[in-house]
Amino acid sequence: MCRVLAYLGRPLPLGVVLYDTDNSLVRQAHSPRMTAMLNLAGFGVAAWDPRSVAPHEPLLYRSTALPVYDRNLRNLARKVAPTCALAHVRGVELSEVGVVSELSLHPFHWPGTRVAFAHNGHLREFDRMRFSLVPHIHAELQRRIGGMGDTEWLYAVFLSQLRDPYGTPAANELADAAVKTLGIVRAMRELHGIETSSPTNLFATTGRDLVATRFSFDYGWYPDVDSLLEVDLPFVSLWYTLGDAYALHDGEWTMGSDYPICSLLLASEPLTVDSSTWLEVPEYSLLVGSLDREQLHVELHDLDV
């Protein structure tokens, strides 16, 4: 099962969350604490810095190299301090059918669009429903799909739910698009009689606003023979912490308690072994975060799709 990290707030050196904390995202690639699956099938990050050239465009770095040995990533992470980031380490099951390919790396961010997108989960029996999604994807976007993986297709469906797939949607439009995307997938699953558990933690961000879901279709129902049973029995995890800034306090990486609250960290697993200052995003929930003049707004909604 993949691991994802999303950040919105004050400039934060990427190296802190990728490498420095004792359960950093890169550590979660090879030694995750909350899943039985290794996440060695690629790394990606989209990072926004308002002081950079073309600030609305993220720095996008994706590689099939193992991030723990990726010196380019390590050097880059030391120099970049974004106000928003979406990073992902990809897990695939140990099998002869798993594919490690650049086409499958998250986050997805097609040139000209304003939304980066990642997924922690997997749609079981996706092969059966993939092409039924086509009518729900803008004709222009259909041509941009390069792979057969569920996430890229979900990204295309998601963008197609926006008023303008190339515009910059506000938080509420991102949230609506996430709910509509899940609704379309639900309908296609029903059409094909797919009733197996399919965790669908989605992450979408424009660099100023972000949404994330902690969701599963048909949670608790598994095929008779299933190599992912061990991974999927617990609801796929998602945690958050918030405060004025993520920094070292008394030797521990935690959110500070000064006002205003303007930083949000969201991750498949807490970034520190001491998880006591992290909160779980409730199951079947949609988290919406937006940053407005250094003031962070975070909302949690029940997700009944």
Binding site for other proteins (CB under 8 A): 218-222, 224, 229-230, 233-235, 240-244, 254-257, 261, 273-280, 282-284, 300, 302
Q: How far apart are the first and last CA of the chain?
A: 22
In the bound state with other proteins, the residue whose beta carbon lies nearer, of 96 and 224, is 224
In the bound state with other proteins, the residue whose beta carbon lies nearer, of 130 and 249, is 249
Provide the minimum distance between the beta carbon of 14 and other proteins in the complex, in angstroms, as a whole number.
Answer: 21
In the bound state with other proteins, the residue whose beta carbon lies nearer, of 82 and 243, is 243
In the bound state with other proteins, the residue whose beta carbon lies nearer, of 58 and 243, is 243
Alpha helices in the chain (DSSP H): 14-15, 25-30, 71-79, 126-129, 139-142, 150-160, 171-191, 229-232
How far, in Å, are 27, 49, 51, 86, 104 from residue 119 at the CA level?
19, 23, 28, 11, 11
Provide the minimum distance between the beta carbon of 19 and other proteins in the complex, in angstroms, as a whole number.
Answer: 21
How far, in Å, are 65, 104, 140, 170 from residue 39 at the CA level?
12, 13, 32, 31
In the bound state with other proteins, the residue whose beta carbon lies nearer, of 99 and 191, is 191
Provide the minimum distance between the beta carbon of 132 and other proteins in the complex, in angstroms, as a whole number.
Answer: 23
H and E: helices and strands count for the chain: 8, 15
Provide the minimum distance between the beta carbon of 49 and other proteins in the complex, in angstroms, as a whole number.
Answer: 24
Provide the minimum distance between the beta carbon of 298 and other proteins in the complex, in angstroms, as a whole number.
Answer: 9
Provide the minimum distance between the beta carbon of 119 and other proteins in the complex, in angstroms, as a whole number.
Answer: 20
Buried b vs exposed e over 232-242: b needs ≥16 C-beta within 10 Å?
beebbbbbbbb
- Residue 52 DSSP class: S
Instruction: State phi, psi for 71 to the nearest 5 degrees.
Output: -65, -35
Q: Which tokens sit at 106?
A: 């998250």
In the bound state with other proteins, the residue whose beta carbon lies nearer, of 193 and 220, is 220
